[in-house]
Chains A and B, each alone.
Chain A
Amino acid sequence: MTSMPTLTPSMSACPACAAAPAAEALANRAAIKDAQIALSLPEIHCSACIAGVERVLSAQAGVEDARVNLTLKRAMVRAAPEVLPDDLVRALTRAGYVAHQLDAGTIAATQTDRSGRDLLMRLAVAGFASMNVMLLSVAVWSGAADATRDLFHWISAAITLPTIAFSAQPFFRSAYAALAGRRLNMDVPISLAILLAVGTSLWETSLSGEHAYFDAALTLTFFLLAGRYLDHRTRAVARSAAEELAALEVPRAMRLDSVGGREEEVRVSALRVGDLVLVRPGGRMPVDGVVIDGTSEIDRSLLTGETLPVFAGHDHEVSAGEINLTGPLVLRATAVGADTSLHRMADLVAIAESGRSRYTSLADRAAKLYAPGVHILSALSFLGWWAYSGDLRMAVNIAAAVLIITCPCALGLAVPAVTTAASGRLFRKGMLIKDATALERLAQVDTVVFDKTGTLTAGTPALTNLDDLPRAAVEVAYALALGSAHPLSQAVVQAAQAANLRPACVESIREVPGYGTEGMWNGAPVRFGRAHWAAEVCGDAARAAQGTAAWLGVEGAGLEGFLFEDSLRAGAAEAVSALQASGREVHLVSGDTPYAVEALAAKLGIHHWVAEALPEDKIGRIDMLSAGGKHVLMVGDGLNDTAALAGAHVSISLASALDAARVASDVVLLGGDLSPIPEALSVARAATARIRENFRIATVYNVIAVPVAIIGLATPLIAALAMSLSSITVSLNALRLTRAGRKT
């Protein structure tokens, strides 16, 4: 698919030298090799979509190659540097495909999953070797004797040694790292068991002995690698989805040339203090700055939880993360990058994280008991048999048998199998488990703290007093609201359309950014917007309202107040009532005004609420609850929740949250719906119960098999049976979790 560079000017000056088109093409290809554009295609699902998207993309000028990945729902495009991702997105939208630009740098890490491929390769080699050695071992167990047995043992050794050297490397490395740090982890007994099994088997084989554990060493490696691989897959899926969320926010800003006033799109990281930045309506402030031109209103809810838009004009200070609502603003940057108020919050997060009691997972706690126990047991049986019989060879053999039989297959396979099943089930419901121990911590939750703005509410206002207003006033406001994209205007339009009203005949409608919309109705000026500004036309005194309000001023008539309330997020009421029904305490902590918070708390039946909470108050509240022995789940989305998210026992953030909040939380809710939260808690409980159950099954196996090994009755056949049976039982038990999920 390499096109010859026909339109580009020749690289060399003399025309005769252009006889090297191949070299030029090569140079050209090298130049555009890195010009990769990544697009997210959330809605593609069939072969027609693949063909359609690839056809549209390839038809664009400058596009070299386009390849759709249906599994990741992504398209990778190789194109000339002048091709803008926005053009490709527009072309796809015209063709009827939903597309978003992804920041190629952010997702580059997920392109090739090297360590996953590495694990898969080791797993395949271990599987191949263990099957072959098992075939030979079956012959030995069936009664092969003398020279035949020795031959089979030597062939097994020839297969086993290189395989162990290659496949078991992850365990050896991790065990070495643990021992070098003077710790014990699960991989120490695993490595010891594998090495001791191979060592004693070689020794036995060289003495033409009867028992060799080559098959056991390989099966052990295979089962444990399978567990590792499952674990890795789960994390890779979560990481890739989290990175995709981050990559969707392409951090770009419009920089104004201070001399010519020319606009230029740049990366946010390229902005410097003193730069002039243009922020269009609907855009997010990329930096902290001072407004030097334009007036508008800004939405600060992600930072403070306030729902009421704030006026911004000349000399007003704005912070990164705030959203510009109505008019274009020109800012002079006062702080960029890590110095912005957005990032200053990081200090608070660091403090909160240091305060969080480090949670040790069930598997780690089991390993802490298990690792020393196994070593002591094995060493004791070695010493006991050596002292009793004086036969070093037999004592070593029995010690190896004890190590192999107590192999932590159940631990190594049971936990990853359960977490994979549970995470997969929650992922289908739209929940992304980011942290490995998040499931176990979710299972312990008995108190849930919600943020208000953007979490329980959708952040979009709804008109509440439509029925109390004169019909004529609503029709005038409707006409004025049609001329504005402000969220409050949109709410009026929605309510009026729902009530089947027709807009009044208002002329020369004009939006005054930062104040509202004005026009002429029946020859008199009308204004819809801020109280003081609207009051100017009617001579009425400006009034203040509880909560969010917009005012309609008509000359000769009084001031009419339109009251708004934040609409509830989908599933919020269901989630809160389901959590309360399951006996959990629900709290509401918000930075908004007491009036707004109380109204919402009453609507949802939440008894414990706090209003006007600063970020410090939020984390303080969580610390107080934790100190009272509660396991707190924090659900939030704003920057003011970030510290609380990091400090809570476990936390959930929304996909619409700022990157900082998503990073601080353990679980990300991908859809806009809150109803999966109660279910996540019950799935987490089921998963933790299943993990404990698997530990019990493994313990029962050990209680039966270890005495057999210690009294020296364990043969390689018994070891193979015990190991495979326990591994298969725990895996099947873990899979029951996915079956339960299908039924619901």
Chain B
Amino acid sequence: MSIIAYLIPISLILGGVGLLAFIYTVRSNQYDDPEGDAQRILSDEWDDHPRP
């Protein structure tokens, strides 16, 4: 049973990484324009200085 001493922290950390990644995406306005972001990737213009 000592394996759970590793498994539980690992599962919590992995879940936490997912949560932090989600919070980062919300904070950096990545859900403001979902349709535009989906279309922008199809743009065939070469952009040397893409905006963040």
Contact indicator A117/B26 (Cβ below 8 Å): yes
Q: Is A374 an interface residue (CB 8 A)?
A: no
Q: How far is the CA of A23 from the CA of B46 in the complex (A)?
A: 32
Contact indicator A68/B36 (Cβ below 8 Å): yes
Question: For the complex, would chain B's binding face be called helix, strand, loop or mixed by DSSP majority?
Answer: helix
Chain B residues with CB under 8 Å of A67's CB are 51
A51-B45, A132-B11, A132-B12 are known contacts. Are A121 and B36 too (CB-CB below 8 A)? no
Per-residue contact bits, chain A 116-155, to B (CB 8 Å; 1 contact, 0 not): 0100110011001001100110000000000010000001
Chain A residues with CB under 8 Å of B8's CB are 136, 155
Contact indicator B18/A128 (Cβ below 8 Å): yes
Chain B residues with CB under 8 Å of A6's CB are none
Q: Is A35 an interface residue (CB 8 A)?
A: no
Contact indicator B36/A124 (Cβ below 8 Å): no
Chain B residues with CB under 8 Å of A70's CB are 33, 35-36, 39
Chain A residues with CB under 8 Å of B45's CB are 51
Contact indicator B19/A69 (Cβ below 8 Å): no
Contact of B33 among A48, A72, A120, A125 (CB under 8 A): A72
Contact indicator A121/B26 (Cβ below 8 Å): yes
Chain A residues with CB under 8 Å of B26's CB are 117, 120-121, 124
Per-residue contact bits, chain B 36-52, to A (CB 8 Å; 1 contact, 0 not): 10011111010001010
Chain B residues with CB under 8 Å of A155's CB are 8
Q: How far is the CA of A483 from the CA of B49 in the complex (A)?
A: 53
Q: How far is the CA of A71 from the CA of B1 in the complex (A)?
A: 51
Q: Is A47 an interface residue (CB 8 A)?
A: yes
Q: Is A371 an interface residue (CB 8 A)?
A: no
Contact of A125 among B19, B32, B34, B49 (CB under 8 A): B19
For chains A and B in complex, what number of residue pairs have CB atoms within 8 angstroms? 55
A128-B18, A155-B8 are known contacts. Are A71 and B32 too (CB-CB below 8 A)? yes
Q: How far is the CA of A353 from the CA of B45 in the complex (A)?
A: 55
Q: Is A14 an interface residue (CB 8 A)?
A: no
A120-B26, A132-B15 are known contacts. Are A148 and B36 too (CB-CB below 8 A)? no
Chain B residues with CB under 8 Å of A50's CB are 36, 39-40, 43
Contact of A124 among B23, B29, B39 (CB under 8 A): B23
Q: How far is the CA of A46 from the CA of B40 in the complex (A)?
A: 8
Chain B residues with CB under 8 Å of A68's CB are 36
Chain A residues with CB under 8 Å of B4's CB are 148
Closest approach, in angstroms, between the C-beta of A163 and any C-beta of chain B? 11
Contact indicator A71/B34 (Cβ below 8 Å): yes
Closest approach, in angstroms, between the C-beta of A43 and any C-beta of chain B? 14
Contact of B43 among A47, A117, A128, A159 (CB under 8 A): A47
Contact indicator B39/A47 (Cβ below 8 Å): yes
Q: How far is the CA of A128 from the CA of B1 in the complex (A)?
A: 25
Contact indicator B43/A51 (Cβ below 8 Å): yes
Contact indicator A128/B15 (Cβ below 8 Å): yes
Chain B residues with CB under 8 Å of A124's CB are 19, 22-23, 26
Q: In this complex, what residue of A is CB-closest to B32? A: A69
Q: How many residues of A contact B (CB 8 A)?
A: 26
Chain A residues with CB under 8 Å of B49's CB are 1
Closest approach, in angstroms, between the C-beta of B21 and any C-beta of chain A? 10
Within B10-28, which residues are at the interface with A (CB < 8 Å)?
11-12, 15-16, 18-19, 22-23, 26
Q: How far is the CA of A120 from the CA of B19 in the complex (A)?
A: 12
Q: How far is the CA of A47 from the CA of B37 in the complex (A)?
A: 9
Contact indicator B35/A71 (Cβ below 8 Å): yes
Q: In this complex, what residue of A is CB-closest to B41? A: A47
A47-B39, A155-B8 are known contacts. Are A69 and B33 too (CB-CB below 8 A)? yes
Q: In this complex, what residue of A is CB-closest to B16? A: A128
Q: How far is the CA of A36 from the CA of B15 in the complex (A)?
A: 40
Q: How far is the CA of A70 from the CA of B32 in the complex (A)?
A: 10
Q: How far is the CA of A48 from the CA of B36 in the complex (A)?
A: 11
Q: How far is the CA of A47 from the CA of B36 in the complex (A)?
A: 8
Chain B residues with CB under 8 Å of A132's CB are 11-12, 15
A50-B40, A128-B15, A155-B8 are known contacts. Are A121 and B23 too (CB-CB below 8 A)? yes
Closest approach, in angstroms, between the C-beta of A139 and any C-beta of chain B? 9
Closest approach, in angstroms, between the C-beta of A707 and any C-beta of chain B? 37
Q: In this complex, what residue of A is CB-closest to B18? A: A128
Chain A residues with CB under 8 Å of B12's CB are 132, 159
Chain B residues with CB under 8 Å of A112's CB are 29
- Listed residue (A68, A69, A70) with the most chain B CB atoms within 10 angstroms of its CB: A70
Closest approach, in angstroms, between the C-beta of B4 and any C-beta of chain A? 8
Chain B residues with CB under 8 Å of A71's CB are 32-36
Q: How far is the CA of A131 from the CA of B14 in the complex (A)?
A: 12
Closest approach, in angstroms, between the C-beta of A3 and any C-beta of chain B? 13
Closest approach, in angstroms, between the C-beta of B17 and any C-beta of chain A? 10
Q: In this complex, what residue of B is CB-closest to A72? A: B33
Chain A residues with CB under 8 Å of B42's CB are 47
Within A678-693, which residues are at the interface with B (CB < 8 Å)?
none
Contact indicator B1/A148 (Cβ below 8 Å): yes
Q: How far is the CA of A46 from the CA of B33 in the complex (A)?
A: 13
Q: How far is the CA of A110 from the CA of B36 in the complex (A)?
A: 17
Chain A residues with CB under 8 Å of B39's CB are 46-47, 50, 70
Q: How far is the CA of A159 from the CA of B8 in the complex (A)?
A: 12
Contact indicator B11/A135 (Cβ below 8 Å): yes
Q: How far is the CA of A128 from the CA of B15 in the complex (A)?
A: 7
Closest approach, in angstroms, between the C-beta of B13 and any C-beta of chain A? 11
Closest approach, in angstroms, between the C-beta of A605 and any C-beta of chain B? 43
Q: In this complex, what residue of B is CB-closest to A67? A: B51
Contact residues of B with A, CB < 8 Å? 1, 4, 8, 11-12, 15-16, 18-19, 22-23, 26, 29, 31-36, 39-43, 45, 49, 51
Known contacts A69-B33, A71-B32; 13 further A-B pairs (Cβ under 8 A): A1-B49, A46-B39, A47-B39, A50-B40, A69-B36, A71-B34, A71-B35, A121-B23, A128-B19, A132-B11, A135-B11, A155-B8, A159-B12
Contact residues of A with B, CB < 8 Å? 1, 46-48, 50-51, 67-72, 112, 117, 120-121, 124-125, 128, 131-132, 135-136, 148, 155, 159
Closest 9 CB pairs between A and B? A70-B36, A47-B39, A47-B42, A128-B19, A69-B33, A70-B35, A71-B35, A47-B43, A71-B33
Chosen A-B contacts, 16 in total, with CB atoms closer than 8 Å, are: A1-B49, A48-B43, A50-B40, A51-B43, A67-B51, A68-B36, A69-B32, A69-B33, A69-B36, A71-B32, A72-B33, A112-B29, A131-B15, A132-B11, A148-B4, A155-B8
